[in-house]
Chains A and B, each alone.
Chain A
């Protein structure tokens, strides 16, 4: 309303041509003020460092979640002028272990308050070191569990029933006569879960639907209700689980204690008809031992969503074995779960910056 009166006054006082000029300048000033106001609003959002959008980084669809609360800068852009950008950055989002929160990078982020990881595994983060700098560390447990349990079952079934091989035979332009190898029965078989945390329990729940007999090994035994809910039996001795299982699923987190947890000895305890499914971390398994076990028929097959490194070198023996199914760490790769992870990651970072209680703070041991 004020704007309209102003325009009328100017036009009455100065005549059309000059009024026009004055009004244009005024408009320009107003536009600039508006832009400055908007910029100030955006500038009020704290800066967050991310790896990249696309490539090995985030899918485009989730960037809006981050932008609601943060001004984001990609690692590549940051590196153009670390001295300029560094001090602005208060949060760092880590996705797929990138950007790597290493000393060189962290020392260029004097205002950093939080390293927020997308995903529950934090074996790639030196939590003690980061927190010693006065920076908080967060992860995203819970939101990853369903999708990860689903992939564990998907890998188990695909391996047991030779689904990939079957497809290849079904669509191969040359072979119509090749018989698909017989699979192994899932219903009624014994499922051994090593690591009965949030994800392990959800795997047990799913296994129960197939009338699988569920046995588990964990640092600590779960309570009776949890066990009865899925009909799971505790095996204090992991060796017993290995001997009894038709399918062994690894769902531990990676720590010094679980590194190389499954090696020659453990594989040799498994049934020759058994399948190993790994959805934890590649380093939990001694890969050389696994190759030998698969080649010699010590175990029937393996299905791995994780390896070390990721991806494996192109000449790695695991890639050539017919009884190995590998997926490129897709445990949480659904639009729904990815969005939830980014949302949780952002929530954690916002809480850290505001000095509020952080939903998923990771404290050093």
Chain B
């Protein structure tokens, strides 16, 4: 039943778009009308040594895409389709795939290996391809087959191991697979190609080898082979072996102890003398160890007494030798490495690792690094000065403030002067280091601020890559003044800083948009951190300037898609600045008028931004509209007719769930601004929100926001929410029940569960308070379910405090709104007494207050 498809596959790769599209359509039709025939035809094409390489490769790719997709829902569909195919046909396809491994064309067997792994991931767990492993192992002992078969087989084994769990196979099979892979690495028996394939296969099989790693003898053997392979004479094999070691460092950290002396020697030899590709992996080995130890430290400090695996302090023990090794790498910079984002070299990896080491061991790193800094920072060779600066900047996070402060205070002036160094690499690292200083330490005083500002504003005119880092430094400098209160030292420099940043954003000498984005984002932080009373005038002047720039983007003639993308980027930055200004000036009654007087024009601009992107709702503009609604309050009503279509578009944007999520938040802002004046728009909003909740495509993270939004709507429209009760409440009840099923072992799911619970409570709170005094009897039928849900949440001892707060508040709302109607309900469910007791003992004042209020509300109905 195979069909001749070579011609179609060739056409599908034609440079002529018309031919290509036609061929693609034909293939698609074939796939839809006769999937088994389609897959068999592709398999024949792939396995047939007579066929052109490009059609074989494309056949393999289409096969793979017929079994696997990034999107979870589509992947499930594909798997279902595969499983529905007749067994005989599937056997035929699998046979062809295995046969392709013996092909002499690497493209063919390489693709086939991937397809086999995908089929295995479906069939091995279901025990539907029992002969796969034995067939593959058999390939390793075939003398009469081409040499590449072993290579192909090893690669296939690696891919298969990566796709399945070792529990899907008998332990005996697992052992034989690993034995085959490790033997493939054996120097004496195999060609370099086979050994490389085996080493890469081992990399993919490391998770799969869990049981074997737990056995000391097997582990010793694997480690011995990997270490020997790491000293192979072929660079590529050494690199692959070090990649294995990096992976082992993070997967089997707790088992590494006995091997560390060997591993240290191995890595330091490589870092000092080997090819850079290998040396990078050796440095990465230590970075991975740091990652593990940092995670253990985080875990220990947050969960005292309940440590899972032991901290072996490998970094601390290796420190005296490790740090000098890393410092050496810093001197191996490349010219112009700062201007090319694609470069990743040894000095960069070494400095990054040094930063991780500092975070891991803290103070202990300083005595090892500081002499290097002092020795090199004044040397005539720029490599030395740059390395010294970079080393200093790298160790600023981790050590204690007590140890760092004197060093930084003593060195600040020197670094400020270094911003005038003749070498751009030195200036670049110095700007970065200054940013780190301002971010991590508190060193600014009335004495040095003027000089700091002067130097930064001078340097922000330096080359784009340096200016970008200077923006970062200004960003963190501003942040230091966030809670400065009155007489903020920064206030007198505000005008100069903002105008310099605006000029920076306008620069045209940058190849990409990063500098412009950084400049605007730095303006945001400067505005946010400023003292409102002292800076409101300056910010009020900035507002029309930014509006003007946004208007200019609308007037541009857009031709190419690049220009369209750039326009969208600039608009995003400017909408961001507007959002920050609106939020800042809108936060106090005295400054609000500065926004309100421009509200019509600002809203016009946002609507125009929406209008010039037809396919999607501009995310930053949407965020800014939310801030504007808050600032204008009831005055926002006049924009609603025009704006509501973008609101609806945003709520229907399932693909870009961030946009949808932000739009849901803006609905809440609008509700609070308009109160019941939002009523005319509610039907369509509620309909879309309910659709969103029922969608399988929409990212789940949006759903809690939607429940909270129900509460916002209900609170705004009060008794008029009545008509939505029959739609909203059943979904809330369903979601409440789903909360009980949420996996408690997965941290991410648990966090999601908290959000969901909190938002359901917020929805109930809004509805109960909205109905209070007029329609509260509507909620009586839902009270038992709600109270049961609260009890369920209370019984979870692990619950997040924000959930506790929402739970105790909604309980008060229930008592407040329904009063003596539900006296019996509370009588029957005494859990609330303990729960209130727990809340009243809390250290959180807000929680205690809410609990006391709730106690009063329940007390009131119990005595009535």
Task: Indicate whether A and B interact.
Answer: no
